[in-house]
Amino acid sequence: MRKPIKFPQGFLLFIFIFFITTAFTQTNGKSIIDTGTIDGAHYRIDIPANWNKNLVMYAHGYNPSGFPGLFIGGAYDSANIAVYVAQGFAYARSEYSVPKGWALPEGVHDTEALREYFVKKYGKPDSAFITGHSMGGAITIESIEKYPQYYNGAMPMCPLSTGAFNQIRQAFDLVVVFNAMYPNILPSVAEMISGKASLIFPQTIISKIGSDTNNLVRLARMNEYRTSDMPMILLFTQVLMKDVSKATGGNPFDNTNTVYAGYGMDLELNEKAERLAASPEAEKKLNQYNPTGKLTRPTVLVHTIYDELINPSMGVVYFDNQVQKAGNANNLAVFYTSGEGHCNFKRSETRTAFAALRQWASSGQKPKPGRIQ
């Protein structure tokens, strides 16, 4: 019998049952749970009895295929809902029309479709904010850049903020380098992309590496990861390669001109590295949504000090540079926490960051970036 997979801290496992039929209740002193389907995407709206006439739109993270109920970043986590509903906010979120696998374009479309539905059904809120974790953080950024007129502010959390191409290219290169360092442990990247490869789980990876961990230490350090997290990261990357290639219709990445350096065995590594050409159409699709830095609304970006899937350089630094380049640094404040693990935020930290965003949106005074205590 296969042992249950132990997901890294920050992976929030929650099985949520959607109801196909839609149920409406009047808002006069009673809470509302509104579920249904819009453009093929299941949704849920929670409106508390003490609704303050304000709205929070939530975008969930990547839901890897083959892992029932797993949403990276707390898709329908009750604690995340409680932060907002307990304060009187309506809280709306979509499962997306592609509920399993890579769904950034669908997430942007379906979240906006749900916002439009909410306004039509319940009226224009006094204020509206958008937030999301991981891939949902990318959806949050894209939405606030594309639809700023509908929101008072945004709060991307542990976001995929470098752009889908750049972020997933890091994962692509990581597995290419690993396979060159440790042949015959994982399938080839071409096999992963084809979707035909069987998954190799962490325990198998660990047993086949054995005591020969020097190169693994270097690979982890180059990507700002801990060596102990690498087996799970490599499992995650196998699924990600399959899901992204399925969503885009091919391989989005070309490493035929790439020179891998900094690993201490660079000549041998480059001679062994698997080389793949990109599908132009797949590359175009993956580049469909990339942050521009053109922020016109207050945006609070929240990140843990260590993240085993989106390191701070990829989750914070790149986007901050984009925003500064676009001349919009006055609309971005970055908060970090002492938390370790992907999207591993305490409820109090989420509440504090959201309070700072609301205060900023109402007063026009940008909060001081830094650690959330």
pLDDT at 358: 98
Q: Cα(6)–Cα(308) distance, rounded to whole angstroms?
A: 14
18 within some domain: no
Q: What is the CATH number of the domain that holds 87?
A: 3.40.50.1820
Taken in order 244, 245, 250, 251, the sign of the CA dihedral is positive
Does residue 246 sit in the same domain as residue 156? no
74 and 130 share a domain?
yes
Partners of 56 in beta bridges? 91, 129
221's tokens: 């350090």
User: At which of 286, 310, 328 does a domain end?
Assistant: 286
Decide which of 268, 286, 304 is a domain's last residue: 286
Same domain, 92 and 206: no
Q: What is the pLDDT of residue 80?
A: 80
The pLDDT assigned to 2 comes to 37
How much is the average pLDDT of 115-130?
98
Determine how many CB atoms are found less than 10 A away from the CB of residue 267: 8
**Within 13 Å, how many C-alpha atoms sit on residue 260's CB side?**
30
pLDDT value of residue 30: 87
Q: Is 23 inside any structural domain?
A: no
* Mean pLDDT of the 118-136 span: 96
Residue 178: the pLDDT is: 98
Cβ–Cβ < 8 Å for 47, 90: yes
Q: What DSSP letter does each residue of 237-265 carry, written as one string?
A: HHHHHHHHHHHHTS-----TT----SSS-
Is residue 140 within a helix (H) or strand (E), and if so which, with residue range? helix 135-146
Inside any domain, residue 214: yes
Q: Is residue 16 a part of any domain in this protein?
A: no
- pLDDT tens-digit series, residues 22-78: 333 345 678 999 999 999 999 999 999 999 999 999 999 998 887 655 444 444 466
The pTM score is 0.89
Q: Which amino acid is at 256?
A: T
Q: What is the pLDDT of residues 80-96, one digit of tens each?
A: 888 999 999 999 999 99
Dist CA 132 CA 130 (whole Å)? 7
User: Total domain count for the chain?
Assistant: 2
Q: Can you read off the two tokens belonging to residue 342?
A: 């992907």
**What phi and psi, each to the nearest 5 degrees, are found at residue 256?**
-65, -25
Domain membership of residue 11 (yes or no) is no
Q: In what order do the strands lie in the sheet with 32-38?
A: 32-38, 41-47, 90-94, 54-59, 127-133, 153-157, 299-306, 332-340, 370-371
For residue 169, count other CB atoms closer than 10 A to its CB: 18
Verify that 153 and 298 share a domain, yes or no: yes
> Is-contact 92 45, C-beta < 8 A?
yes
Domain boundary among 286, 315, 332: 286
Q: How many CB atoms neighbour CB 28 within 10 A?
A: 6
The verdict on 176 and 261 lying in the same domain is yes
Q: Which residue has the tokens 């087996």?
A: 231
Residue type present at position 66: G
Q: Is residue 3 part of a domain?
A: no
Closest CA to 242 of 192, 199, 201, 208: 192
pLDDT at 65: 85
> Residues of the chain with pLDDT > 70: what percent?
89
Q: Could you tell me if 277 and 308 lie in one domain?
A: no
Q: Which domain holds residue 193?
A: 168-286
- Which stretches does DSSP call E strand in the chain? 32-38, 41-47, 54-59, 90-94, 127-133, 153-157, 299-306, 332-340, 370-371
First-to-last C-alpha distance (Å) of the chain: 44
**Same-domain check for residues 59 and 115:** yes
The answer to whether residues 92 and 184 belong to one domain is no
Residues 173 and 68 placed together within one structural domain of the fold: no
Tell me if 17 is assigned to some domain.
Answer: no
Q: What is the pLDDT at residue 28?
A: 61
313 vs 73: which has the higher pLDDT? 313
pLDDT band at 240 (very low <50, low <70, confident <90, very high): very high
pLDDT band at 212 (very low <50, low <70, confident <90, very high): very high
pLDDT for res 81:
84
- Written as one letter, the residue type at 258 is T
Six token digits for residue 39 = 């453009």
Please indicate, yes or no, whether residues 299 and 325 belong to a single structural domain of this protein. Answer: yes
Mean pLDDT, to the nearest integer, of 140-156? 97
Quick one: the chain helix, strand, coil %, rounded to 5?
Answer: 40, 15, 45
In this predicted structure, what is the pLDDT of residue 20?
25
